[in-house]
Amino acid sequence: MLKKIVLTGAAGRCGSILRPALAAMCETLVCSDIVDSIDGLAANETYVKADLADYAAIAALMDGVEMVCHFGAIVDEGPFEELLGPNFIGSYNVWESAQKAGARRIVYASSIHAVGMHPRQSYIGTDAAHRPDTFYGLAKCFSEDLGRMYWEKRGIESVHLRILSCAPVKNARALGTWLSDDDLVRLVERAIDTPTTGFAVIYGVSDNDRSPVDNSNAAFLGYKPQDNAEQFAEEILAAEGPGNPADLAQMVHGGPFGPVPLGQGGAAAAAKGDD
Amino acid sequence: MLKKIVLTGAAGRCGSILRPALAAMCETLVCSDIVDSIDGLAANETYVKADLADYAAIAALMDGVEMVCHFGAIVDEGPFEELLGPNFIGSYNVWESAQKAGARRIVYASSIHAVGMHPRQSYIGTDAAHRPDTFYGLAKCFSEDLGRMYWEKRGIESVHLRILSCAPVKNARALGTWLSDDDLVRLVERAIDTPTTGFAVIYGVSDNDRSPVDNSNAAFLGYKPQDNAEQFAEEILAAEGPGNPADLAQMVHGGPFGPVPLGQGGAAAAAKGDD
Amino acid sequence: MLKKIVLTGAAGRCGSILRPALAAMCETLVCSDIVDSIDGLAANETYVKADLADYAAIAALMDGVEMVCHFGAIVDEGPFEELLGPNFIGSYNVWESAQKAGARRIVYASSIHAVGMHPRQSYIGTDAAHRPDTFYGLAKCFSEDLGRMYWEKRGIESVHLRILSCAPVKNARALGTWLSDDDLVRLVERAIDTPTTGFAVIYGVSDNDRSPVDNSNAAFLGYKPQDNAEQFAEEILAAEGPGNPADLAQMVHGGPFGPVPLGQGGAAAAAKGDD
Amino acid sequence: MLKKIVLTGAAGRCGSILRPALAAMCETLVCSDIVDSIDGLAANETYVKADLADYAAIAALMDGVEMVCHFGAIVDEGPFEELLGPNFIGSYNVWESAQKAGARRIVYASSIHAVGMHPRQSYIGTDAAHRPDTFYGLAKCFSEDLGRMYWEKRGIESVHLRILSCAPVKNARALGTWLSDDDLVRLVERAIDTPTTGFAVIYGVSDNDRSPVDNSNAAFLGYKPQDNAEQFAEEILAAEGPGNPADLAQMVHGGPFGPVPLGQGGAAAAAKGDD
Amino acid sequence: MLKKIVLTGAAGRCGSILRPALAAMCETLVCSDIVDSIDGLAANETYVKADLADYAAIAALMDGVEMVCHFGAIVDEGPFEELLGPNFIGSYNVWESAQKAGARRIVYASSIHAVGMHPRQSYIGTDAAHRPDTFYGLAKCFSEDLGRMYWEKRGIESVHLRILSCAPVKNARALGTWLSDDDLVRLVERAIDTPTTGFAVIYGVSDNDRSPVDNSNAAFLGYKPQDNAEQFAEEILAAEGPGNPADLAQMVHGGPFGPVPLGQGGAAAAAKGDD
Amino acid sequence: MLKKIVLTGAAGRCGSILRPALAAMCETLVCSDIVDSIDGLAANETYVKADLADYAAIAALMDGVEMVCHFGAIVDEGPFEELLGPNFIGSYNVWESAQKAGARRIVYASSIHAVGMHPRQSYIGTDAAHRPDTFYGLAKCFSEDLGRMYWEKRGIESVHLRILSCAPVKNARALGTWLSDDDLVRLVERAIDTPTTGFAVIYGVSDNDRSPVDNSNAAFLGYKPQDNAEQFAEEILAAEGPGNPADLAQMVHGGPFGPVPLGQGGAAAAAKGDD
């Protein structure tokens, strides 16, 4: 039983799913987000509104913290200037203040968009080179590198969950990329209960037949997803019809997130089936 | 539901197994082979006799085709001169005519014999270098390279199924290499229903305990075999007795296919347990 | 049914577990150890006391042997001088005499301690470089290299079982490293019944959720463990509390085996989470 | 002969070295830095004072530019808050405005500090994973990922020069890491005159006997350094005396840049001699 | 001093360069090509007109041969049907008849076009996967696979020279790909005088600063080129002007050989700067 | 200037070559071997007869030592029992006593025979897996693993020189494997003067055109050989005549060292031209 967990992004989709599980793992769960309030606080939960870009506000959450679940961010592509505060500076603020407060570990909601330009036909492992597909993904790259430096130079652990798609399955791509709500909980539980992790990266994806990524390097975490999007395959494939291999969004891991002007620049390179 | 599938080698063992499944996936299934006729045509099936080495005959099958399942070939080792027509020129004829007709994809019956000289103790992936063990295997190498070029230069997709052994289990080697009839169907269904594939290679093997090859690079296809040759292990191992590591045919992936004169030339090299 | 198996270390923990299974696989099981006698000999079992360091004594066991299960050794860390006889010279004696007697194969109880200094967060395969953590582990490295040479130069096969921890689960590390008694038997059965193996290495570990090693290169052996230490996870994690990433024993594969003076020399290097 | 080159950081050490060579390669060289003025402008050189963190100021430099040499940044470790403007936002400003202006390529002064935590005994290639040793290095990681995204999504090329140490040789580490002034010029000339580069990374180091990095992946650029720090070896080694392998700063590629508290956290991990 | 060398393609550009060197290495040099005659036969040279596609004609050359230099082929892209005889069947005829005649080794003029679709920014080794860019390149893939099989199954050695461009330097690409006449001779001499080679692949390229391929796996052959196309760089780069990274022909190893319809199919994939 | 160097094997071929260079690098050079005396001691040299297998005798050499050059061993293949004392136990004695005495580093004469069964056509790096070809080579494997453990657990550095052939060039193999006397000196000087090395492995070979091994991982040591056995090539190749690829001794790195019974066991596996 941990003394204190801090959860950023507590009002978001993932944060809302995680709150009950986190509350069960600690004496005090401090939830934080940019909204004024959240509903349904458990007895050992508190909510503090805080702007991720405001160092003092974030540092104020950290007193006595053991474990930080950093899920706060703008969760859509946007201009660099808009993401700079919450998604870049926010990560720095979380790591710097958590480390100063003596936290053991940060569990971070990274994303497939950190490596989204890899061709989907390459079975990328957790050590795949950064190839962001958006400014959103670039912020994930930045936070992973930051987390690695804080581990290697200051000894604070971090587990980076590269979530593929934590949302209902609505298209053929999601048959491979789905992370069910229950599997998200399982993943975060493992990222917390593993006694030591150092710096680790793991893909957040269910046990889908068509899962396109390789978690074997993170085997020691013992994450075993239980759900499988194949249950939706027949209906979705019938509805969607044949794919178009000339459409870059269908050929890279990141999919159609963000405006990818087809055929422009070197982007089409990522579409090839092997590398 | 696809408009039209062309199946070559429809009279062969694999072709016969596949016909009902293919017929269920399209409006029209055009079957072809070198024999005069085949039995049991479904309502949406037609049969056309055609020599693979005859470009005009093959091209005549392709009008309006979306998907080609190219399973036609001489399926035994033989002199180069005999395989040249059906197994080499035939592949060119299929790719060239299918691409000209606007087909989206070719699903090709490749073989473990394209990489058959790799030592069995090396867990070869789909990117293993070509090491054919026969002229039969050399034709598979040729067709894979051809398919890759047609994808990279002309944009026609292909999925190359390196089948290990699609036959009843009768020896110890087949405990690892067996592809059951049902798993063959599952494999081809995935090769067809995956929305985009680019150029892909996948081993055709069941979920055998002793399966000696690695399909992880083809994970995005979502092929999940369900059968396991281990059910035959006790009986077969008892009957076969101890193996002979000085027998090259027991030490390479391709097994005893074709005449492998033991101890001659550099062949024994492939028998080593690691590389 | 084999004619004759020789089992060294028959009085030890693993040897005792294996005896019934081995007795069922052969006409004659010759058990050997350094103690005066062992209990419960089956009808086709005999016991011969023999010092591993005594060539003549070991050679005397080998007449007509087909398969040797070499599990004898001092199974704890100790001074080099004490391990030299049983763990180093003993391995030479077993290989040399078995090969001279015409044995087909040696199944050897190697250990994770042959590669124990690799960071636990690296998912090491069977081809991981030797990084012994103890003189005990160094003897395993020596025996693996010896076995490889005897295969490559003299044609005697060997399967090297790098056992992680063949003991009841009592700490968090063992949630990943446990090899159950039943899975040990399964592992040795496969090492024996596979018709040809050449020189092979495989990790001896159960199907634990948190298993930290990669057996895919040994897939052809068909070892499929059935037990899972996760059943003990909740109780053990609750009892053990948070880990300490500055404690080298928690960050390397070998764990706290042997005296590892923390922070001394280059040892801390192995603690990093990736390489 | 290029129409226009923009050089940021023109008042810095590297910028000053490069100016004559760049001026010789184009009709107009626009120099920029944060100082009020620079000396010795050639006939085709102009100087514009501009703050890298000011998008409008940077964008104003780019009209008609073909090639940008982006060498401007704070070139010392400092608090994240101080580096944020020039080293992070500055890179974004350069890429975004250059791409909008239609520039062909950006040549960027990256640094070994982007990968500085790799052990010095590992011969890292240009594809080594990001392992920054400082916030300074983190900014280089950020800019490299940014440059890759702009290439893959928008088609603007970039060549990232990971400079090891562009300064006089004063210690044993620099015997390996030295980049002479002349070799810096050769390196930048190749980064500019190579007809196409896509996204490329190359180490900036002279032809030192003890050079610890691998540029083979950038072979197509044809960079052939001519200087060798070995000329300084005898004097420097005599003066410096034996090294201390327990000093992390002597065991990682980045060296003693920035405050590395020895033995703290996971940092010591990087000191190991292989990975 | 060899007894007999057979040179096919003796009337071609490479063949003509090689004749004097080959004549100096053997007692009898049998030259062959499709033309009626060639000039300047040395005292120990003979010429025999023979069609590569005619097995009997080729076999007639092989009596008593020790070493075959197989340089004959159509050396331009063309329809598959036209290349089939000389470039595909011709290779089979040479290997089959040479092996039957007891030749020790075949030195084969392979080509960069066997791997021409790899991105130029990837420093491909001799083990790069086949990615032909033309039917011409596909024939080289076929011959390499054939040669490997003849080595592994029948023990006849072969050295496959993947020539980049054996022609005067006339464009920027050739600054990297040039193989000088003298280096061609050096390369073939090594392929012949190395006592044992097994099956080997090596790139045929001079010591160009901008050489884009990696011969290190063929180091044992001891090929050390002496010429460098950098002598032509200034003039050619000035004449050619800036490159276009959207032009596939500038971004892949194979260059503009054959008609590559830009932006069609998956071809653009090969243009990316890394894989 | 080091205070004290200990050189074992001082009476051997390599030891004799090294003595003057070592004497110039330290205040006191203690030479040791199994013979009664050696000639030509320099003013700062002493000689002590000592049996490597005698711990007390070896420990007596180590008082105040900074650097040990461990070149003592039986330098020929022999029965395991004969090599056990000097080549195995001797290495333990040197490491254990040197570490206890506070030595900084051991420079060890390892050998290509530690990896001698790798095929000569594979360009093995310093991280090639151990594949000893003899008991002599097995002792080198043992010592390398021992040295790595002493570094990782006790912090004593070691540099392992895998010497290829330190003898006059008398056959075709030596055209690739020659290490000249002068290059041996250069190699050892670098192994000593590099300020920090951790655990390192490097091949001892001259700058031969035909050198078959890859030292790039040891680049930081700055070893630059200057001699080239190609000067002997013409004469030796003419005398030796064609090679025989069916002769294992011509196809593996270790060459004909020790009795390799051709075609026996799995040995022939090592002869293949790639892995």
Of D196, D216, D222, the CB nearest to E251: D196
Mean pLDDT to the nearest integer, F228-244: 95
Chains touching B by CB (3 or more pairs below 8 Å): A, C, E, F
Q: Is E236 exposed, middle or buried (0-12, 13-18, 19+ CB in 10 A)?
A: middle
Q: Hey, is C33 helix, strand or coil?
A: strand
**Dihedral class, residue F104 (left if φ above 0, else alpha if ψ from -120 to 50, else beta):** alpha
Of A89, A153, A265, the CB nearest to D153: A265
Kindly determine whether residue A220 and residue C208, on different chains, have CB atoms separated by under 8 Å: no
pLDDT at residue E158, rounded to an integer:
98
pLDDT tens digits along B187-210: 999 999 999 999 999 999 999 999
Tokens of C236: 């053990």
Pick from E14, E188, E182: nearest CA to E107:
E188
CATH code of the domain containing F205? 3.40.50.720
User: The dihedral of CA F203, F205, F207, F211: what is its sign?
Assistant: negative
CA distance A86 to A90: 5
pLDDT at residue A257, rounded to an integer:
73
Say whether pLDDT at F274 is over 80: no
CA distance F124 to D91: 41
Mean pLDDT to the nearest integer, E247-256: 92
Kindly determine whether residue C265 and residue F149, on different chains, have CB atoms separated by under 8 Å: no
Residue F88 distance to chain C (closest CA, Å): 10
Kindly determine whether residue C271 and residue D273, on different chains, have CB atoms separated by under 8 Å: no
Q: In chain D, what residues touch A104 (CB-CB under 8 Å)?
A: none
pLDDT at residue F267, rounded to an integer:
43
Asked if chain A contacts chain F via 3 or more Cβ pairs within 8 Å, the reply is no
Among chain C residues, the shortest Cα distance to D271 is held by C269
What is the tally of structural domains in chain B?
1
Residue E239 distance to chain F (closest CA, Å): 37
Q: Which residues between 104 and 123 in chain E have a beta carbon less than 8 angstroms from any beta carbon of chain A?
A: 119
Say whether pLDDT at C125 is over 80: yes
Find the range with the poorest average confidence among A189-203, B251-265, D10-24: B251-265
Of F176, F246, F274, the CB nearest to E155: F246
pLDDT at residue C1, rounded to an integer:
86
Kindly determine whether residue A245 and residue B155, on different chains, have CB atoms separated by under 8 Å: yes
Residue A228 distance to chain D (closest CA, Å): 32
Tokens of E3: 């007894």
Asked if chain D contacts chain F via 3 or more Cβ pairs within 8 Å, the reply is yes
Say whether pLDDT at A21 is over 60: yes
C210 in reach of chain F (CB within 8 A): no
Kindly determine whether residue E137 and residue B149, on different chains, have CB atoms separated by under 8 Å: yes
pLDDT at residue A82, rounded to an integer:
97
Mean pLDDT to the nearest integer, C229-238: 97
Find the range with the poorest average confidence among A160-164, B258-262, E197-201, F179-183: B258-262
Catalytic residue among F136, F150, F203, F223: F136
CA distance F255 to F174: 10
Of E129, E265, E269, the CB nearest to A269: E269
What is the average pLDDT value for chain F, to the nearest integer?
93
Say whether pLDDT at E270 is over 50: no
C153 in reach of chain B (CB within 8 A): no
pLDDT at residue C217, rounded to an integer:
95
pLDDT at residue A262, rounded to an integer:
36
pLDDT tens digits along C27-82: 999 999 999 999 999 999 999 999 999 999 999 999 999 999 999 999 999 999 99
Interface test with C, best of B209, B250, B251 (most C CBs within 10 A): B209
pLDDT at residue E1, rounded to an integer:
86
Pick from A237, A244, A197, A238: nearest CA to A221:
A197
Tokens of F166: 């330190």
Say whether pLDDT at E257 is over 90: no
pLDDT at residue F241, rounded to an integer:
85
User: What backbone phi and psi angles, to 5 degrees, belong to F10?
Assistant: -65, -20
pLDDT band at C14 (very low <50, low <70, confident <90, very high): very high
pLDDT at residue B1, rounded to an integer:
86
Chains touching D by CB (3 or more pairs below 8 Å): A, C, E, F
Kindly determine whether residue E263 and residue A263, on different chains, have CB atoms separated by under 8 Å: yes
**Strands, E assignment, F84-228:** 105-111, 124-125, 157-163, 199-204, 213-214
Helix residue ranges, H only, D27-113: 55-59, 80-83, 90-100
CA distance F213 to F215: 7
Catalytic residue among D47, D136, D150, D223: D136
pLDDT tens digits along B2-56: 999 999 999 999 999 999 999 999 999 999 999 999 999 999 999 999 999 999 9
pLDDT at residue F271, rounded to an integer:
40
Tokens of F9: 């094997």
pLDDT band at C257 (very low <50, low <70, confident <90, very high): confident
pLDDT band at F63 (very low <50, low <70, confident <90, very high): very high
CA distance D226 to D222: 13
pLDDT at residue D15, rounded to an integer:
98
pLDDT tens digits along E98-128: 999 999 999 999 999 999 999 999 999 999 9
Helix residue ranges, H only, chain C: 13-23, 55-59, 80-83, 90-101, 135-154, 174-177, 181-193, 233-240
Three-class secondary structure assignment of D165-194: ECCCCCCCCHHHHECCHHHHHHHHHHHHHC
**Dihedral class, residue E147 (left if φ above 0, else alpha if ψ from -120 to 50, else beta):** alpha
Q: In chain F, what residues touch B245 (CB-CB under 8 Å)?
A: 266
Q: In chain B, what residues touch C151 (CB-CB under 8 Å)?
A: 273
CA distance B205 to B123: 14
pLDDT at residue E258, rounded to an integer:
57
Among chain B residues, the shortest Cα distance to A211 is held by B220
Catalytic residue among A108, A136, A150, A203: A136
Determine the structural domain holding residue E105 and report its residue range.
2-272
pLDDT at residue A258, rounded to an integer:
57
User: The dihedral of CA C172, C175, C177, C180: what is its sign?
Assistant: positive
Cβ atoms A118, A252 nearer than 8 A: yes
Question: Which residues of E carry out catalysis?
Answer: 136
Say whether pLDDT at F234 is over 50: yes
pLDDT tens digits along E13-53: 999 999 999 999 999 999 999 999 999 999 999 999 999 99
- List Cβ neighbours of C118 (8 Å cut-off, separation of 6 or more): C124, C128, C131, C252, C253, C270, C275
Say whether pLDDT at B274 is over 80: no
Say whether pLDDT at B269 is over 60: no
HSE-up (13 A, CA, CB side) for residue D131: 29
pLDDT at residue F258, rounded to an integer:
57
Of D122, D242, D274, the CB nearest to F195: D242
A196 in reach of chain D (CB within 8 A): no
Work out how many CB contacts closer than 8 A connect C with F. 110
A245 in reach of chain E (CB within 8 A): yes
pLDDT tens digits along B99-139: 999 999 999 999 999 999 999 999 999 999 999 999 999 99
Mean pLDDT to the nearest integer, C194-219: 97
pLDDT tens digits along D211-268: 999 999 999 999 999 999 999 999 999 999 889 999 988 999 999 875 544 333 454 4
Tokens of A21: 């599980």
Q: In chain D, what residues touch F194 (CB-CB under 8 Å)?
A: 210, 243
**Residue E122 identity:** S
D79 in reach of chain A (CB within 8 A): no
**Residue F56 identity:** A
Interface test with E, best of A244, A247, A250, A272 (most E CBs within 10 A): A272
User: What backbone phi and psi angles, to 5 degrees, belong to E179?
Assistant: -115, 115
A217 in reach of chain B (CB within 8 A): no
Mean pLDDT to the nearest integer, F239-248: 90
